[in-house]
């Protein structure tokens, strides 16, 4: 492939390339509990709104709007969501919370998938809706610094890789493969952070803010 062909390819996929770069930066910063993950996330979701609009993945396009709001919320919560408006610390999800989130995800997938299948030309409406609903749950868990958000992302990223390959979004598929690796790393890092704090605080203090 000639330089001119590569340049034209890069130009035609410019939004996807920029989204991929900012996405990797944002997720990596999240694994390190770095507050700058949120402003970079705001840039990332804006770019992906454009990418998904062009691919007719409307559920994922709409997801970016919610991600934008969640990123603003997460930015605030990480700074002031702890005790007495202090920094928020990593916590674990309770069983009750896990059940509630699973039920919400199933219901949201059914409703959104039905709407997209009947009223739009969306590609893969139910699969798109399932990844959308689950991603929202994982993102909310991340705003609350719940360790298990990374386990949810691991599962979602596997599905996303296959879906984006099917839609010929090869760069984005590669990006989500990187996200898979980062999610595994994030789980290990956040669990280590939780375990270190668990030696200093009571079980009630560790789970109270996650429920």
Q: Which residues of the chain carry a pLDDT beneath 50?
A: 208, 210
Query: Which SS3 state, helix, strand or coil, does residue 121 take?
Result: coil
Distance (Å, whole) CA 165 – CA 168: 5
Q: What would the two tokens of residue 23 be?
A: 């996405």
pLDDT at 122: 79
Range of the domain at 176: 3-210
Q: Which residues does 191 contact at the CB level (< 8 Å), separation at least 6?
A: 147
SS3 content of the chain, % helix, strand, coil (to 5): 80, 0, 20
pTM of the model: 0.84
pLDDT at 88: 94
pLDDT at 63: 77
Does residue 129 contact residue 112 with C-beta atoms inside 8 Å? yes
Cβ atoms < 10 Å from Cβ of 140: 17
Q: Which of 138, 139, 114 is nearest to 59 (CA)?
A: 114
pLDDT at 203: 60
pLDDT at 208: 45
Number of domains observed in the structure of the chain: 1
Tens digit of each residue's pLDDT (9 = 90 or more) over 47-87: 989 888 888 878 778 879 989 999 999 999 999 998 888 99
pLDDT at 54: 84
Q: What would the two tokens of residue 157 be?
A: 């990223």
pLDDT at 206: 54
Kindly tell me the burial class for residue 70, based on how many C-beta atoms sit within 10 Å of its own C-beta (0-12, 13-18, 19 or more).
buried
């Amino acid at each position: 492939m000639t330089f001119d062909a590569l340049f034209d390819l890069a130009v035609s996929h410019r939004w996807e390339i920029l989204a991929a770069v900012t996405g990797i930066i944002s997720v990596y910063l999240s694994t390190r509990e770095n507050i700058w993950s949120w402003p970079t996330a705001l840039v990332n979701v804006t770019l992906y709104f454009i990418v998904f609009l062009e691919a007719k993945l409307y559920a994922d396009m709409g997801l970016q709007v919610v991600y934008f709001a969640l990123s603003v919320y997460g930015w605030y919560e990480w700074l002031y969501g702890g005790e007495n408006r202090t920094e928020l610390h990593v916590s674990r999800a309770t069983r009750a919370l896990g059940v509630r989130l699973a039920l919400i995800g199933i219901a949201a997938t059914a409703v959104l998938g039905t709407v997209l299948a009947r009223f739009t030309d969306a590609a893969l409406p139910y699969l798109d809706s399932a990844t959308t609903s689950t991603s929202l749950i994982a993102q909310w868990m991340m705003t609350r610094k719940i360790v298990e958000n990374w386990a949810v992302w691991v599962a979602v990223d596997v599905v996303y890789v296959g879906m984006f390959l099917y839609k010929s979004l090869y760069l984005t598929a590669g990006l989500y493969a990187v996200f898979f690796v980062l999610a595994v790393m994030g789980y290990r890092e956040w669990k280590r952070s939780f375990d270190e704090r668990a030696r200093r605080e009571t079980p009630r203090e560790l789970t109270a803010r996650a429920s």
